[in-house]
Structures are given as C-alpha cells and as structure tokens.
C-alpha cells in the first residue's frame, strides 16, 4: 500500500515518463528533399556526444552530411527505419525535413 507521502512524488514523476515516450514529430517542409532531415539536440546534450551516439545507432544506409557550431544539431540522410529511431531518442529536440528555399524579388509599390 502506498504511503500518503509517496503519492505526490508518483504524481510528479509520471508526466516525465509519459513525455519521454512520445515520439518527436517530423516538421514538414513545403519543398522537401526526399530522405534528408535537420536534427537538433535537446538543451544540455553535448554536441559531440550526441553526434557520436547518433552515428553509432544509424544504419550504413544513413549518413550525417552536415554539422554546425551555431546550432546543436546536424543534417543527414536517414532511412525510414533510422528516422523512426531518431524520433524516439530522448536526446532529440526536433526533426525537420530538409528542403529547398526560394526567394522572391521584392516589388516596389
């Protein structure tokens, strides 16, 4: 039987477990490049450790293509299976389809 002091602790901890089990959604791009994604790590995840962990968990059919110092993230080509694995990783903050971006000339009015 639970003690009355343990119940508030359990109620505080349960949402953390529930939040960690939900997969990270993949943000869609209007003009996506098939199989390419931009992945960012959660705050507090060391970039080098995150990249090393991700590299060791993906298949040989996926690859990291770019890393940046300005954001705690990377870009790569990922298979559907590896993408599913990334979505459930506790270190990943966001995943977005990589895509083409176009500029339009400004009109003077």
Q: pLDDT per residue over 62-86, tens digit each?
A: 999 999 878 999 999 999 999 999 9
pTM: 0.74
Strand pairing category for 26-27 and 92-99: parallel
Count the alpha carbons within 13 Å of 103 in the hemisphere toward its beta carbon.
3
- What is the CATH architecture of 23-99? 2-Layer Sandwich (3.30)
What percent of the chain clears pLDDT 90, i.e. is strictly above it? 69
| Helix, strand or coil, per DSSP, at residue 98 | strand
Q: Please determine, for residue 19, whether its predicted confidence score (pLDDT) is greater than 80.
A: no
Kindly indicate the confidence band of residue 95, based on its pLDDT and cuts at 50, 70 and 90: very high
Task: Place 88 in a pLDDT band, splitting at 50, 70 and 90.
Answer: very high
């Amino acid at each position: 039987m639970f003690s009355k002091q343990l119940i508030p602790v359990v109620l505080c901890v349960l949402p953390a477990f529930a939040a960690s089990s939900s997969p990270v959604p993949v943000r869609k791009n209007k003009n996506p490049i098939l199989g390419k994604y931009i992945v960012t790590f959660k705050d507090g995840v060391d970039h080098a450790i995150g990249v090393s962990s991700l590299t060791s968990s993906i298949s040989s059919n996926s690859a990291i293509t770019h890393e940046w110092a300005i954001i705690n993230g990377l870009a790569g080509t990922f298979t559907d299976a590896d993408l599913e694995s990334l979505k459930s990783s506790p270190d990943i903050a966001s995943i977005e389809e990589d895509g083409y971006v176009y500029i339009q000339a400004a009109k003077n009015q």
